Amino acid sequence: MTDPHFESGASAVQQALRTVVEKGADDAALSTLAKSEVLVPAATDAEGPAPKALTLPVFEQEDGTELVPVFTTQQRMEQALPRMRRHRSVLLGALAHGWPSDSLSLVIDAGTPEQLALTAHGVRALLDRDDI
| pLDDT for position 50 | 59
- Closest CA relative to residue 30, chosen from 105, 115, 93: 93
- As separate numbers, helices (DSSP H) first and strands (DSSP E) second, the chain gives 5, 6
Beta bridge partners of 32: none
Check residue 11 and give its pLDDT: 84
User: Are 87 and 112 a contacting pair, CB within 8 Å?
Assistant: no
In a domain, 132, yes or no: no
End-to-end Cα spacing for the chain: 27
Within a domain: 75 = yes
The pLDDT of residue 4: 43
CB 117 within 8 A of CB 67: yes
Task: Give the count of domains, the chain.
Answer: 1
pLDDT recorded at residue 85: 82
> What backbone phi and psi angles, to 5 degrees, belong to 10?
-65, -35
| Host domain of residue 69 | 4-127
- What are the pLDDT tens digits along the chain (132 aa)? 344 434 445 688 999 999 999 998 889 999 999 999 999 998 655 555 555 678 899 999 999 999 999 999 999 999 999 988 899 999 999 999 999 999 999 999 999 999 999 999 999 998 988 766
Q: Given phi > 0 = left and psi -120 to 50 = alpha, else beta, which region is 131? A: alpha
Residue 109 lies in a domain: yes
The predicted structure's pLDDT at residue 1: 39
